[in-house]
Chains A and B, each alone.
Chain A
Amino acid sequence: MLFGCSSVYKNLQPAAGDLSSLEKFKPNFKSALYKTEVDVIGHHLSGLLLIKTLPDSSVRMVFSNEMGFKFFDFEFRSDTGFKVYYVIKQMDKKAVITTLQKDFELVMMHKMDDKTAYVRKDGSNLYYVFPQQKGYNYYITNLSGSELIRMERSSARKPIVQAIMRNYSNGIPDTIGITHKNFSFTIGLKRIER
């Protein structure tokens, strides 16, 4: 019981870290197409996710299946706005949309307010912590800051979502993985060369 209430982050030590060192991990989705696999509570969904930055610097994400049927079309604005252009009825639930919004904001490295951010460390990693309206976004690098180990959306005590971005090419990660810890929900993205 005692263990259940303690925070997995409680042993982290205050540390000095340069927030700007995260900039190099921020994906630059000029236009990228990903083969996408979603597994949610026993259901499997596959399709294509197109991520494109428009001239006004907003990012659009369109997810459709391989045969062209669209599941959703979201817009993420650089000023942290979010708009649903389209979502199929089966997914049109506030909890689903908010979850996807927050997951992708974590990956796109949005909502990183320098003024409230702080840095922690343990024996092997640096933890860049960005308090959110509810919970925290963590960007975890190695101690030298050269490698992004993982990203986390967390409560005060433990991660709710863990995500990775690997193998960048021209600022675009080749592989993106998002895993929810409190229920069975994963999103896997693998870039398709066109």
Chain B
Amino acid sequence: MCRLILILFIMSCCLSLKAQEYTPVSDVTRFKDQFAVTAKKIETIKSDFTQEKNLSMLSEKIVSKGKFWFKKDNLLRMEYTKPFDYLMILNKDNIYVKDGKNETKVSTRSNKIFQQINKITVDCVQGTVLSNPDFKTRILENKNNYLVELSPVSKGLKEFFKTIKVYIDRKDYAVNTIEMDENSGDDTTLHFTNRELNTTIPDALFTIK
């Protein structure tokens, strides 16, 4: 019986993120201020992540895991370790990608869509997402989370996303999940766990050779 209750409890916790109804935030200014204050205090983030690509029509999920490092301003490293190796480093305007033996370096300046997509992740963790002119925003809340819904304004981004949902923990105003919904009904979710704030992260982790 105890075990059953425990299982039900865990299941309900897992479901709670989406299942609980979200309503528009009553005090938008207060939320924005709090979010900005919290984001301002964040110098670095170190976290594990789980990425879930959900292919709705195929009833398939592609799950991958890895580590995430962020350092102000605009330094980001995402290292996928399961079930494949893939490394992406964003250093200001430059992106370095290593897949297997292959290394690629690109400037985000040369690719507008790539620049906008990377800006989303950085904006989310940096707290500047609410002022990103590429999106219309709507702010919702429930008992546990705030939900910032971003709808792309530009044609280029609209082709990729219907909405981007950023789930923010009410307790500490930290982003715990980013969900990117495509027009097709498929989506990609990034879920952050074991988050450590403001630990020392060496710049070398973000060096693009």
Q: Using a CB–CB distance below 8 Å, which chain A residues touch chain B?
A: 31, 33, 35, 37, 44, 46, 48, 50, 52, 54, 60, 62, 64, 66-70, 73, 85-86, 88-89, 192-194
The answer for the CA separation of A36 and B83 in the assembled complex, in Å, is 13
Contacts A44-B104, A68-B53, A69-B117 given; indicate if A194 touches B58 (C-beta within 8 A).
Answer: no
A66 touches B64 (CB 8 A): yes
- Determine if B4 is an interface residue (Cβ-Cβ < 8 Å): no
Main secondary structure on A side of the interface with B: strand
Q: Give per-residue flags for B150-191: 1 if the beta carbon is below 8 A from chain A beta carbons, else 0.
A: 000000000110000000000000000000101010101000
B102 touches A37 (CB 8 A): yes
Query: For residue B159, which residues in chain A have a CB less than 8 angstroms away from its CB?
Result: 88-89
A60 nearest CB neighbor, chain B only? B58
B84 touches A35 (CB 8 A): yes
Interface residues on B, range: 20 to 34
B103 nearest CB neighbor, chain A only? A44
Query: For residue A89, which residues in chain B have a CB less than 8 angstroms away from its CB?
Result: 159
The answer for the CA separation of A92 and B173 in the assembled complex, in Å, is 41
* A44 CB to nearest chain B CB (Å): 6
- Determine if B60 is an interface residue (Cβ-Cβ < 8 Å): yes
B83 touches A194 (CB 8 A): yes
With A31-B60, A66-B86 known, 6 other A-B pairs at CB within 8 A are: A46-B100, A60-B57, A66-B64, A68-B53, A69-B117, A69-B188
Partner of B62, one of A50, A86, A193: A50
B58 touches A37 (CB 8 A): no
Partner of A46, one of B60, B102, B188: B102
- Determine if B55 is an interface residue (Cβ-Cβ < 8 Å): yes
Between-chain CB contacts (< 8 Å), 13 pairs: A33-B62, A35-B84, A35-B100, A46-B99, A46-B100, A48-B62, A50-B55, A54-B58, A66-B80, A66-B88, A69-B188, A88-B159, A194-B63
The answer for the CA separation of A46 and B88 in the assembled complex, in Å, is 12
Query: For residue B117, which residues in chain A have a CB less than 8 angstroms away from its CB?
Result: 69
Please provide the 6 A-B residue pairs with the shortest distance between their CB atoms, ordered closest to farther. Answer: A68-B188, A46-B99, A66-B86, A68-B53, A192-B83, A52-B58
B84 touches A192 (CB 8 A): yes
- Determine if B51 is an interface residue (Cβ-Cβ < 8 Å): yes
Query: For residue A68, which residues in chain B have a CB less than 8 angstroms away from its CB?
Result: 51, 53, 180, 188
- 8 Å CB interface, B57-80 against A: 57-58, 60, 62-64, 78, 80
A66 touches B99 (CB 8 A): yes
B99 touches A62 (CB 8 A): no
A50 touches B184 (CB 8 A): no
Query: For residue B180, which residues in chain A have a CB less than 8 angstroms away from its CB?
Result: 68
A37 touches B100 (CB 8 A): yes
* A63 CB to nearest chain B CB (Å): 11
Partner of B84, one of A44, A66, A69, A73: A66
Query: For residue A50, which residues in chain B have a CB less than 8 angstroms away from its CB?
Result: 55, 58, 60, 62
- 8 Å CB interface, B96-123 against A: 97, 99-100, 102, 104, 117
